[in-house]
């Protein structure tokens, strides 16, 4: 049986650290604050927003939601995002996407100041992550993977890691963060040949694909550590979620594995809060 790398103890340890850091900032008269920009009221956005607010409350972080109608014009929304970016009371910004098709998301995202981009989705942040500049924030999910690996003392230096997925949100940044820790990385995608064999070569396998239970027993070997980033509707259990890894088939083979749910996903909102606290600290140095 594999050891389960659960997210909750990781988030709890991060919380304890953040409570202290928020208190230290408040003692200096500074209240760290997250600005949440939302257009419309999509259920997925509201669900994530609810989780983020709860986590903010738990560590004493303030937040403000900036909500706009779905028919907002490009010009008005650009003005609004620029104003939130310039607001000195807001230290970190989360902007939900995708935005309605009538809005130029790339242009609007570029209006978020890099130092406040705690969701790590601007090109400026991506550049900093690529350049190993610690003042740039990676997206929350790759950072959550790193927090899990760190919490469970999983060695990375010199280890072979296969990342399946090359998105800007997960695959590419997690590869950069792992390389920062001196792992040797292979990035795979939909055109990779012999994917099962490439996955089996790894000491650590990171699945960020978006295909329910795609990585079966053929893709893993004994002694491996598996980080499953996927969150997919479970085709076998309506109303439930599952990862990109076929957990029931893989768990008996590998050494350690993150469950879904209860793994990477349960650390991401804590990372959002951590990056907001870091942003506030850096803006007040
Ligand atoms: P994405 O943008 O759709 O990227 C998926 C990646 O997987 C692409 O690079 C794609 O390759 C690759 N891929 C697709 N089918 C493949 C196949 N058959 N073989 C090999 N590679 C394949 O997805 P994403 O935003 O990175 O998200 C990935 C997963 O993580 C999703 O399940 C998502 O729900 C989940 N997620 C979880 C969290 C969390 O907090 N845990 C946060 C964000 C996302 P190509 O580039 O060649 O198309």
pLDDT given for residue 80 in this prediction? 98
Question: How high is the pLDDT of residue 143?
Answer: 98
Let me know if residue 132 belongs to a domain: no
Residue 238: the pLDDT is: 96
Same domain, yes or no: 155 and 232 = yes
Domain annotation covers residue 102: yes
The verdict on 95 and 151 lying in the same domain is: no
Would you say residue 79 lies in a domain? yes
- The pLDDT, as a whole number, for residue 219 is 98
How far is residue 79's CA from residue 65's CA, in Å, rounded to a whole number?
16
Question: Are residues 66 and 102 both part of a single domain?
Answer: yes
Residue 63 lies in a domain: yes
145 shares a domain with 260:
yes
Instruction: Looking at the structure, tell me whether residues 74 and 173 fall in a common domain.
Output: no
CA 80 to ligand 1 centroid distance, Å: 31
- Decide if 6 is inside a domain: no
Which among 8, 190, 211, 219 is the best mutation to test ligand 1's pocket, defined by most ligand atoms within 8 Å of the CB? 190
| Same domain? 145 vs 106 | no
The pLDDT of residue 212: 98
Whether residue 128 lies inside any domain: the answer is: no
**CA 190 to centroid of ligand 1, rounded, Å:** 10
- Which atom number of ligand 1 is nearest to the Cα of residue 260? 41
What CATH number should be reported for the domain holding residue 245? 3.40.50.720
In-domain check, residue 158 = yes
Do 84 and 174 lie in one domain? The reply is no
Ligand 1 atom closest to Cα of 171?
Answer: 26
Alpha carbon nearest to ligand 1 atom 30, residue: 230
Q: Are residues 105 and 198 in the same domain?
A: no
- Same domain, residue pair 80 and 180: no
The CATH number given to whatever domain includes residue 46 is 3.40.50.10860
Residue 75 lies in a domain: yes
- Which residues have C-beta atoms less than 6 Å from ligand 1? 141, 164-167, 169-171, 188-192, 195, 208-211, 229-232, 244, 264-265, 268
Residues 257 and 148 in one domain: yes
**Are 159 and 259 within one domain?**
yes
Number of domains the chain is built from: 2
Residue 249's domain comprises 140-265
**Distance (Å) from CA 46 to ligand 1 centroid:** 22
Expressed in angstroms and rounded, the spacing between residue 160 Cα and the centre of ligand 1 is: 20
Say yes or no: 145 and 237 in one domain.
Answer: yes
Per-residue pLDDT of the chain (285 residues; tens, 9 = 90+): 999 999 999 999 999 999 999 999 999 999 999 999 999 999 999 999 999 999 999 999 999 999 999 999 999 999 999 999 999 999 999 999 999 999 999 999 999 999 999 999 999 999 999 999 999 999 999 999 999 999 999 999 999 999 999 999 999 999 999 999 999 999 999 999 999 999 999 999 999 999 999 999 999 999 999 999 999 999 999 999 999 999 999 999 999 999 999 999 999 999 999 999 999 999 999
> Atom 19 of ligand 1 has which residue's CA nearest to it?
190
pLDDT for residue 158: 98
């Amino acid at each position: 049986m594999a050891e389960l790398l659960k997210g909750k103890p990781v988030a709890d340890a991060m919380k304890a650290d953040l409570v202290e850091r928020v208190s230290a900032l408040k003692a200096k008269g500074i209240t760290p604050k997250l600005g949440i920009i939302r257009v419309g009221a999509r259920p997925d956005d509201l669900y994530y927003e609810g989780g983020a607010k709860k986590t903010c409350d738990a560590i004493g972080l303030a937040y403000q939601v900036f909500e706009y109608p779905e028919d907002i014009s490009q010009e008005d929304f650009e003005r609004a995002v620029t104003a939130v970016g310039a607001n000195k009371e807001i230290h970190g910004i989360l902007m939900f996407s995708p935005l309605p098709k009538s809005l130029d998301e790339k242009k609007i995202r570029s209006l978020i100041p890099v130092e406040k981009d705690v969701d790590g989705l601007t090109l400026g942040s991506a550049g900093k992550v690529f350049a190993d500049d610690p003042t740039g924030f990676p997206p929350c999910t790759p950072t959550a993977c790193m927090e899990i690996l760190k919490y469970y003392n999983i060695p990375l230096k010199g280890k072979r890691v296969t990342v399946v997925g090359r998105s800007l949100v997960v695959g590419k940044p997690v590869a950069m963060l792992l390389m920062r820790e001196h792992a040797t990385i292979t990035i795979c995608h939909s055109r990779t040949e012999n994917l099962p064999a490439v996955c089996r070569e790894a000491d650590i396998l990171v699945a960020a694909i978006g295909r329910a239970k795609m990585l079966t027993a053929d893709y893993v070997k004994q002694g491996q550590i598996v980080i499953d980033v996927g969150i997919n509707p479970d085709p076998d259990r309506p109303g439930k979620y599952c990862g990109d890894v076929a957990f029931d088939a893989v768990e008996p083979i590998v050494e350690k594995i993150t469950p879904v749910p209860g793994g990477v996903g349960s650390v991401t909102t804590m990372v959002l809060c951590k990056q907001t606290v870091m942003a506030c600290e850096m803006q007040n140095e």
